[in-house]
Structure 1
Amino acid sequence: MNTDSSLLAQAREWQVLLHSGRATAADHLAAKAWRERSPAHEQAAREVDRLWALLGQVQPPATVQPVAAQAPQPPRRRRALRWSVPLRERRTVAAGPVAAPGRLAGLVRRRGDGAG
């Protein structure tokens, strides 16, 4: 007997719902009523029942063990994104505070040399 594909799809939906752990008592009663609606419904439900039973006999795939259990590393950022000031400007800005004490010391020495 050739079962209508739409009835098989409905039977699969009932099967999944009833085995999902979310089905209520009303769902079970509705599934039973759906099966009893016609011989074609019952046939579709039996075909899905057989398939479900066969799936229970299939061996689950073997789990693959990772080669080395390492924590995932965060993505590396490109160095160019770390600086808000381009390199050429950064050297000029950085030289200012470093050069200022040297200039100040030169001024103090000059005044000291002339005073003493």
Structure 2
Amino acid sequence: MTEADILALTYFCKMTIRRCASIKNEETGVTDFDENVVIVEDIPCAVNGNVPNITDTDITSSISVFELYCRPNIDLQVGDILDITLENGNIETFIASKPFPHLSHLQTNLTLKERY
């Protein structure tokens, strides 16, 4: 069992990764952008609660930042939209920052797509 396998035992959330892709309509020749292109579904992951914001101003204090952990082989890119089913069954939608790969896991900051 590898270190990635051991860490994956702590992933109690599931995510679906959506990515914005350009899709060309063959009939009209028009290229549209669709942010609902599903890349993968039901990927085990872990989400760390609200990470303190380093720059605390009136604007940035209202932005919640979270951390995502998943296996290192997951195709995650900046700007991906993640629909994550949390441990309690609630589904939240996040936007991924630049992923930081480790040998044992992938780590990235997330922001909520919709602000509350």
TM range (shorter): under 0.3
More strand as a share of residues: 2
More helix as a share of residues: 1
TM-score by length of 1: 0.21
